[in-house]
Amino acid sequence: MSLSVRQRRILADMGIPVWRARGPAPGHAGVAAVAANAPAVVEDSAPTPTVSEAVTPGTVEAPPQVAGVPVQALDWEGLEARVRACTACDELARERTRTVFGVGDRGARWLLVGEAPGAEEDRHGEPFVGRAGQLLDNMLQALGLDRSRDVFIANVLKCRPPGNRDPEPEEVRACRGFLDRQIELIQPEVIVALGRIAARELLDSDEPLGRLRGREHRYRGRPLIATFHPAYLLRKPGDKPRAWEDLLRARACLSSP
């Protein structure tokens, strides 16, 4: 992939040195050359394992059945309506302005999964529209991807936890069927878990994110890559090069570039 001026600027802004290959990039068509000795580690300083390891998620509770049809049988329209009408979590249903279903191409090869809507997402009904979303869009753009065309973006929770608190385990359980149905409908080639909460939930793991990064996992047979949450990267920009490595790892999971 040749990089546009804007993509180069984004990568430079992420602290990722990019150089022009003189000839064809050896064995890595489509992957921008990134300095191997990119600055590293602020938080999550667990060693980055390189060996692939499959993780099998645990059993997931049955999703809510509101109007007779189980969530697993809903089409996109039915699923979106079910999410919009959901009152499974009293507090979230009471406090939300809008549910945040997800955005993007419903047949995308990439699925990005965040944690839960924040205040701006709650207002707009779209995931990742705040500052963290801008950073995410920039990272996608550096990969030549656009949020509306090339990826689907969803969250573990479809409602905002008041005060941006962490989701409660029972909220995550109640919402899980919606995300699983989205995954079944999209059939993405790769899933990227953005941050600790999404990674731990999808991998049914309580390991720190630093131990889940750096290798390919499987979620129901699909490749899953765990990376930093964009909001974390806003606080710790020194980890952007490592996030970029994660995205390149995710791209390498695709059947074709």
Which chain residues interact with ligand URA by CB under 6 A?
114-118, 121, 127-128, 132, 155, 231
Q: Please give the single-letter amino acid code of residue 92.
A: L
Name which of 128 and 244 has its Cβ closer to ligand URA: 128
Name which of 167 and 223 has its Cβ closer to ligand URA: 167
- Residue closest to ligand URA, measured at CB: 114
- Distance separating the N- and C-terminal Cα atoms of the chain: 9
CA distance 28 to 248: 11
Q: Compute the least distance from the CB of residue 153 to ligand URA, in Å.
A: 7
CA 245 to chain centre: 15
Q: Compute the least distance from the CB of residue 34 to ligand URA, in Å.
A: 25
Q: Compute the least distance from the CB of residue 253 to ligand URA, in Å.
A: 21
Name which of 18 and 160 has its Cβ closer to ligand URA: 160
Helices 131-142 and 240-252: crossing angle in degrees, nearest 10, is: 50
The sign of the dihedral angle between the CA atoms of 174, 227, 163, 118 is negative
Report residue 170: phi and psi, to 5°: -70, -30
Name which of 31 and 234 has its Cβ closer to ligand URA: 234
Q: Compute the least distance from the CB of residue 31 to ligand URA, in Å.
A: 27
CA 252 to chain centre: 16
**How would you class 233 by CB atoms within 10 Å of its CB: exposed for 0-12, middle for 13-18, buried for 19 or more?**
buried
Q: Compute the least distance from the CB of residue 106 to ligand URA, in Å.
A: 17
State the DSSP H helix or E strand holding residue 225, giving kind and residue range, or none if neither: strand 222-227
Name which of 118 and 223 has its Cβ closer to ligand URA: 118
